[in-house]
Amino acid sequence: MSILGLHHVTAMSGDPQRNAEFYAGLLGLRLVKVTVNYDDPGTYHLYYGDAVGSPGSAMTFFPWPSAYRGRRGTGQVGVTAFSVPVGALDFWADRLQARGVEAAQTSRFGESGLAFSDPDGLALEIVGTVDDPRTPWVTDEVEEAVAVRGFHSVALLSADPGASGRFLVETMGFVEAGHEGDRVRFRLDPAVPGGTVEIVEAAGLGPGRMGVGTVHHVAWRLRDDASQAEWLQRLRDAGHGVTPVQDRTYFRSVYFREPGTVLYELATDGPGFAVDEPLESLGGALVLPAHLEQARGQIGGRLPAFTTPAGVRFP
């Protein structure tokens, strides 16, 4: 029932056109699924990742063009970091600069990277990583030698850093891997790609407010339904308020807040994004869960239009 690493990170964005141009265009991720927020079907749910949207590569968004901007603060993921080969950082510095994206060099825990923001102000990093074996999605502009492999880590702005760290170690199987400046790093034991968390001292920030430009939740990988059932019972026995299992079509999920009030999800690896689209055409059409299919016309009429870098028009 071990945690296997990061599964996905879900954030809130504004204009879906700008979102697609940034993540599928500039960052070179594959748009693997265009569906809707099951709890708010008038809103897209966009998934980006590697060729199949593997767990550990999937960055997802709820785009609300007219929504208010969020406020970064405690109880949130402060930074989402992607892994690239060490030698790719010059490529990314040049590419970001050419697209008008300001990036600052970073150096922490012996790793170099670039810190920047997406068009909605969401804080991101690209970190040069040694020996990340994951196979990336490649495009005409982003070759395999420099492409994003998946997630490197998330940095948490915890309302209670000590309690958040203890929960990672005592409950989730992480080990403390170092302390530097205002942050403590934790890694899964044994270390796996996309299995790193940093807890950042957030004194003075105050509680975050969800909205455009903030992360809604971070999801962790579980192998299957049996493992999820064990975790559900384990968390409930420990007094955590955990949701029932939610069927998200591509995985099954439970949600709870860790001691520092960051919203966590535990998501199964399967069945994956090819369950309702051919692998070769993932992200090529608006797909809806069966219970919403009869309302396709109404839903499509409420969704804003956008065109992907590959030239596919939605809705």
Q: Tens of pLDDT along 238-287?
A: 999 999 999 999 999 999 999 999 999 999 999 999 999 999 999 999 99
pLDDT of residue 121: 98
Tell me the average pLDDT across 16-30. Answer: 98
Alpha-carbon span 300 to 295, nearest angstrom: 8
- 1 vs 76, more confident: 76
Cβ atoms within 10 Å of 196's Cβ, excluding its own:
26
Judge residue 12's burial from the number of C-beta atoms within 10 Å of its C-beta, 0-12 exposed, 13-18 middle, 19 or more buried: buried
* 2, 173 Cβ separation under 8 angstroms: yes
Tell me the average pLDDT across 156-171. Answer: 96
pLDDT of residue 191: 87
Task: Quickly state the pLDDT bin for 309 (edges 50, 70, 90).
Answer: very high
- Sheet with strand 246-247: strands edge to edge: 30-37, 40-49, 58-63, 6-13, 215-222, 263-268, 252-257, 246-247
pLDDT at 1 over 80: no
Tell me the average pLDDT across 136-163. Answer: 97
Residue with tokens 């590959």: 310
Percent of the chain with pLDDT over 90: 97
Tell me the average pLDDT across 43-56. Answer: 98
Alpha-carbon span 106 to 160, nearest angstrom: 25
Cβ atoms within 10 Å of 43's Cβ, excluding its own:
22
Tell me the average pLDDT across 144-163. Answer: 97
For residue 201, what is the DSSP state?
A: -
Mean of pLDDT over the chain: 97
pLDDT at 64 over 90: yes
pLDDT at 204 over 90: no
Tell me the CATH number of domain 6-314, given options 3.40.640.10, 3.10.180.10, 3.40.50.300, 3.40.630.30: 3.10.180.10
Q: Model confidence over 164-203: pLDDT tens digits?
A: 999 999 999 999 999 999 999 999 988 899 999 999 998 7
